Amino acid sequence: MNSMEETRAFLKKIGLPEGDAYSLPTSDKRFSDGGQYRFEVPGIQGPKVMKALLESMDEYGIALHRVTQTQGIMRLTDSEIAQMVELAAQWQTDLILAIGPRATTDTSASVNTPEGVRMGYRLRGQEQIVRAVEDVKRAVRLGCRSFLVYDEGCLWLLNEMRKAGEIPAECHFKVSAHAGHGNPCAAKLLESIGANSINPVRDIQLQMLASMRQAVNVPIDIHTENPKSTGGFIRHYEVPEMIRIAAPIYLKTGGSVAQTHSWDSTVDDAKKRAKQVSLVKRMIDEYYPEAVQSPKGSIR
């Protein structure tokens, strides 16, 4: 047995895949309701746009399970948060708010440099951790229970606070693609420190995604398309296979409408994002019609 074979054997011994899953095995894991996939629309920054999106989804007759705001809690007024929480309750969808203080709102310009690309949106200094927690506490007071996390240390702390009763036990934490994770070992680590769902890098290949699914039980969130700032590539034809090999999976759709991750979407943008979801649903119905979508109202 050579050195590489020994490494693969050890990975197998500790319950991790020996390598990327080129055979693309079918995942038998499911959401608690039995569904294989759910839809998520990111980049919805306020109540007016959120309402337009939800109304448009109703027109297409497609259940939307998640709406994600990406500019940060600190960019919203109390009234806006309360309105978004109310809309989520009315439409039986999960509202995910991004934790506000992150690299893009720090006092450093590093995120705007080539080095910043490698840093992701991680936090610099313990004060930023404290401020991030304050962002979460504020949104919790206003009724939100799901949060987009950009930093592993912040995730670990929030999980400890959740276990200690400092924040509600029903809080859920979704790890952003901007944290830059793309392998089973990283996914296993994130799950172990409290991640309730994991968004890997946007260009993760199918065999990599399949191996990541083997390593964790939490849902994996996959970009079916992307803003121009993160490549602009559209993966609609891959979606049926994504579902088959990576269930339970959230299909993050509508991003190609935006120029950037924190694009200030308009009402018209929201309608375009809903159309993108309908195009993905058509792909599923055409090429994997037996795939099971979670029913409307399934958010946990």
For residue 113, the model assigns a pLDDT of: 72
Has residue 283 got a pLDDT over 80?
yes
Residues 197-207: what's their mean pLDDT? Answer: 97
- Which tops the pLDDT comparison, 156 or 232? 156
pTM, two decimal places: 0.94
Question: pLDDT, tens digit, for every residue of 20-53?
Answer: 999 999 999 999 999 999 999 999 999 999 999 9
Residues 222-228: what's their mean pLDDT? Answer: 92
Spell out the CATH class of 24-287: alpha beta
Residue 299: other Cβ atoms inside 10 A: 19
Has residue 153 got a pLDDT over 80?
yes
Share above pLDDT 90 across residues of the chain, in percent, rounded to a whole number: 83
Least confident stretch, 164-178, 193-207, 217-231, 274-288: 217-231
Has residue 118 got a pLDDT over 70?
no
Measured N-to-C along each axis, helices 267-287 and 239-246 cross at an angle, to the nearest 10 degrees, of 70
Q: Could you give the CA distance from residue 275 to residue 77 in angstroms, rounded to a whole number?
A: 29
For residue 103, the model assigns a pLDDT of: 76
Q: What is the mean pLDDT of the chain?
A: 94
Q: Which tokens in the block code for residue 110?
A: 């590093």
Has residue 268 got a pLDDT over 70?
yes
| Boundaries of every domain in the chain | 24-287
Q: Could you give the CA distance from residue 38 to residue 51 in angstroms, rounded to a whole number?
A: 19
* Cα 282 to Cα 227, 241, 258, 268, 288, distances in angstroms: 21, 14, 22, 21, 10
Residues 196-200: what's their mean pLDDT? Answer: 98
For residue 116, the model assigns a pLDDT of: 58
Measured N-to-C along each axis, helices 78-91 and 47-60 cross at an angle, to the nearest 10 degrees, of 10
Share above pLDDT 70 across residues of the chain, in percent, rounded to a whole number: 96
Residue 274 makes CB contacts below 8 A (sequence gap 6+) with 41, 53, 56, 57, 59, 60, 62, 254
Residues 190-198: what's their mean pLDDT? Answer: 98
Least confident stretch, 67-71, 113-117, 233-237, 275-279: 113-117
Least confident stretch, 62-71, 184-193, 208-217, 259-268: 259-268
Most confident of 32-46, 112-126, 257-271: 32-46
For residue 114, the model assigns a pLDDT of: 67
Residues 68-89: what's their mean pLDDT? Answer: 96
For residue 182, the model assigns a pLDDT of: 96
